[in-house]
Amino acid sequence: MRRQISTVLIPGASAPAGINTIKSLRLSDFRGKILSTDSNNLSAGFYLSDFYEVIPEAEADDYLEVLLNIIDKYSIEVLMPSSGYDIFPFSEYKSKLKKHGVFPIVSDRKILEICRDKISTFNHLNKEFSLPFTTLNPQEIDTYPIIAKPRYGKGSRDVIQVNDQKELQYVSSKYTSMIYQEYLPGDEYTIDVMSDLDGNPIVSVPRVRLQTKSGISTKGKIILDKYLIEESMEIVRKLKIIGPSCIQMKKDKIGDFKLVEINPRLGGGTIFTTLAGANFPKMIIDLVEGKTLQAPKISEVTVLRYFEEIVLDERNKINYIGKDLLTSNACRM
């Protein structure tokens, strides 16, 4: 008999990835309950969920204890990989979490570290895939412009274009833990890839990032480019990433794609892929329930994103929410 999932936990309820995971499940035929979590008590995702809990940050000493109590309290069955922070304790404590009856959809910690550390990403994949020149040593730089970025950074925060040696000296003296990477002037693409629970890719959905704000896509178009589809699936297959991942590539000065970043989780723009025909959060539920998945048909749609308002009263109860589709009786039990 197949397992039927009735309650899921979606972390990162204040960020686009968590909110989009909730929205994707609401747009599917999933009829279970959604619990969202975040360390911010004013998280929009709380009011799109059935229940919510404010929890410590993932690095806090009491994070695991609080998480396990919540899992037991709500009989959580699936932990969604919708937070770039929570996936690390999800992976580290995977065995303990499973003993509490919950399935964390996350890759092994070693894989997460390879993806988080851009130098490790370069060293593991450079011989088999096309990556931009990358170094920790500013003395190896002899061509400008060059890009300086945090070795463990997320999105586009603290990414600096360095145009000459004087600027390089300033950046290298001011910032620590920076890498220096070949400047890629071409269009930027994100490819969402969904794999099964053994790390075998099922579907790949590329999109060109037409506009970004703070590293998150605000306008994008699905482009079913054969190279991007096949290359992204090979990267995921090589690393054996479990569940969803979002891969960023950019074109170099001659128009060739080069791998920039890998995020082994649901991304801030994964809703683009949902609207194009591949609902990754629902696919995760189907995989845990033991269903055999086939690659869905993808449409080359253009998606424009905009803000939605949630109005609360003085007791933080919902007065108004923008979309009737997402209205729910959110409560904290």
247-256, pLDDT tens digit by residue?
999 999 999 9
Q: What is the DSSP letter of 320?
A: E
**How many residues belong to the chain?**
333
More confident residue, 146 or 212: 146
* Residue written as token pair 């290359």: 231
Number of helices (H), then strands (E), in the chain: 10, 17
C-alpha dihedral sign at 48, 50, 55, 58: negative
Q: Structure pTM?
A: 0.92
Q: Beginning with the edge strand found earlier in the chain, give each strand of the sheet holding 188-195 in spatial order.
A: 257-263, 244-251, 188-195, 201-213, 216-222, 302-304
Distance CA 161, CA 165 (A): 12
Q: How confident is residue 214, by pLDDT bands cut at 50, 70 and 90?
A: confident
What was the pLDDT predicted at 156? 64
What are the tens digits of pLDDT across the range 149-199?
999 977 667 899 999 999 999 999 998 889 999 999 999 999 999 999 999
Residue-wise pLDDT for 56-73, tens only, equals: 999 999 999 999 999 999
Residues contacting residue 99 through CB under 8 Å, at least 6 positions apart? none
Residue 155 confidence (pLDDT): 61
Burial of 212 (0-12, 13-18, 19+ CB in 10 A): middle
Contact 290, 41 (CB under 8 A): no
Contacts of 110 (CB under 8 A, 6+ apart): none
pLDDT of 313 above 50? yes
The answer to whether residues 310 and 318 touch, using CB atoms and an 8 Å cutoff, is: yes
Q: Domains in the chain and their CATH numbers?
A: 7-106 (3.40.50.20), 111-116+185-304 (3.30.470.20), 133-182 (3.30.1490)
Sign of CA dihedral 220, 224, 226, 231: positive
Q: DSSP per residue over 168-226, as a string?
A: HHHHHHH-SSEEEEE---S-EEEEEEEE-TTS-EEEEEEEEEEEEETTEEEEEEE---H
